[in-house]
Amino acid sequence: MNSKPRFRLPGLPGPFPKKTLVAAGVAVVAIVAAVATMAWRRWPESPRPLAYGQFEKKLVEGGVARVKIAPGELSGELVEKVAGKAVRFRTPWPNAERDERLAGLLAKHVPGGNYEADAGPSAGWSSAATLGILIALVATFVVLSRMGGVGSVVAFGKSRHKLYERQDDPVTFDDVAGIDEAVGELREVVEFLRRPEKYQALGGRIPKGILLVGPPGTGKTLLAKAVAGEAGVPFFSLSGSDFVEMFAGVGAARVRNLFAQAESKAPSLIFIDELDAIGKARSAGGVGHHDERDQTLNQLLVAMDGFASNRGIIVMAATNRPETLDAALVRPGRFDRNIVVDRPDLVGREQILKVHARNVPIGEGLDLRQIAAMTPGFVGADLANLVNEAALLAARKNKSQVDRHDFEEGVERVVAGPEKRQRVIRRDEQLRIAHHEAGHALVARSLPGTDPVHKVSIVGRGAGMGGFTMYRPEDDRFLHTQSWLIDHIRTLLGGTVAEELTYGEVSDGATSDLQRATQVARKMVAEFGMSPRLGRVSYQTQGRSPFLPGGGANDSSWSERTAREIDLEVRRILDDALRSTRELLERRRPALEAVADALMERETIDAAQLQEILDRFPDAP
């Protein structure tokens, strides 16, 4: 038998049926509407304000019909009428009830002695009204306190953390892959939380603060959860922005409340995500000064450096902006251990794929190492998204297992977006795209040391992408030589040069290729010291995060003459790359046309099909 839905109002007994709440709400609205209507109908017209001199003049002339004497004022009706109604008046007069002359005038000039005195509210009524207001305020305060949350007055200064107690299925180090060095550093923390007396007996002290730094999505939060799951201790999790409010002092109060609750459950673990929200370097006022954030940071510094050195609380924090943190926060004794959670390598990506593919039926013959080789630069969050995309694609095709084609399609969706097969492209534009992608693929296969081409397609993906050439590196590359960077620029320019050779002009479809090529050339000159004209000098901007994409050299950090020299060197590198790429494609023009024709016929060709075409048109010496 299905029970009727019932609801509990915060701070009130219950639960109540839904129909009862609806009926009560309708009744309240009806009562309020009726009272408002009656009050509007009975609300008297606003009285006309009269100065005391005007009132006395009208009184002597016989123009006042009725008078009421109240404390501090006179009110009543005039003889004159407007629309058949007597005009009401109001005259402020502080001494009205004590003015003997006024009493004589009223007795003489008000017709029929039609005047009276109003003593005002009694002392008992005033006391009752005051008591009623106090009771209403206390009741409102109690209800808000019992409701809790953001709207609670009592909870305003409380920490907004989430508390994870011992769970049946906690996150452990088995759920973390690809960052073995970071896991090894944190096992000591787990051991201290499990057996703190082992270290305290020898006078040892575990680091109070552990700072996890690395790019977004590499698993910093997952590592903190794994530490709490392995140690089996309470886990307090919150973000740095949860401390800061528009009212000064609230963040500091929340820090005190957080550490008080953590001490009551010690040993425990506090995890602060995005620490840079409250831990930025303090300024001496002026532009960008933030009193609330500074007070919150000061309280955090005091809380982490208290007198009790072994109180069983470990603070972990994560950030991808370590260069912005205050020096007092990262000194020994506070966050004195930094663990870099970097992007995983090829082996790490394979391990992460295996973790996320535990509950996914994998088809026979699928080699996750090959899939990991197709994902250079991917972090744990990207790989989790890849596995999910592959599973969704297999389910969409009514498959019982996820095979290699689903994972490859998932990689393409994550990197370039979904296919746009419904996009109508003119045949001449499609042929131009085919020559463009064929130029990329041919240059990449003709140069030594470049990454192997995995797939070439002229099927549009994402926003504005007419085609793509996908590469599959055989190994992760951590060092890039000058010759490799130049070959990479030539590969990026291969599409533009192929269009120019075929049609005599270029299109705007190569914008992203030109931007990436220019960026690589500028880094070679301004950061890597690979320019013979400028020498081994780096103009890299200091202070930007090494874990975030973007950034670059700051033009204000050198003279205009140096900036011009950098621009000339960038132009020279790009011009040399364009000239050598044009010579290569002119020499292999038949192969370029053959690859473009194959793309027009099949729309997509893989590495084996590309190699078959190139074997028919070998490179001339």
Active site positions, annotated: 437
Q: In whole angstroms, what is the distance from residue 159 CA to residue 169 CA?
A: 26
Q: Residue 292: how many CA atoms within 13 Å on its side-chain side? A: 15
Note the Cα 365 to chain centre separation in Å: 40
**Other CB atoms within 10 A of residue 482 CB:** 13
Three-class SS state of 315: strand
Residues 6+ apart with CB under 8 A from 32: none
Q: Residue 519: in which H helix or E strand, if any?
A: helix 511-526
Containing 64, the helix (H) or strand (E) segment is: strand 64-70
Cα 56 from Cα 50, distance rounded (Å):
10
Q: Which two tokens stand for residue 185?
A: 């550093």
Q: How far apart are the first and last CA of the chain?
A: 85
Residue with tokens 């260069």, as numbered in its chain:
323
* Nearest residue to 579 via CA among 587, 448, 482, 450: 587
Angle between helices 220-231 and 180-194 (to 10 degrees): 30
d(CA 375, CA 382): 9
In angstroms, rounded to a whole number, what is the distance separating the alpha carbons of residues 162 and 270?
Answer: 10
Show the 3-state SS of 368-430. HHHHHHCCCCCCHHHHHHHHHHHHHHHHHCCCCCECHHHHHHHHHHHHHCCECCCCCCCHHHH
Residue with tokens 């599409």: 495
For 579, the token pair is 């000239």
Residues 6+ apart with CB under 8 A from 327: 281
The CA-CA-CA angle for residues 125, 128, 130, to 5°, reads 110
CA distances from 266 to 84, 119, 216, 299, 387 (A): 81, 66, 30, 20, 38
DSSP E strands in 421-490: the ranges are 453-457, 468-471
Residue closest to 273 by CA, chosen among 160, 152, 149: 160
Location of structure tokens 């389910």: 395
Q: Is 487 helix (H, G, I), strand (E, B) or coil?
A: helix
Ordered strands of the 73-82 beta sheet: 48-49, 85-92, 73-82, 64-70, 115-117
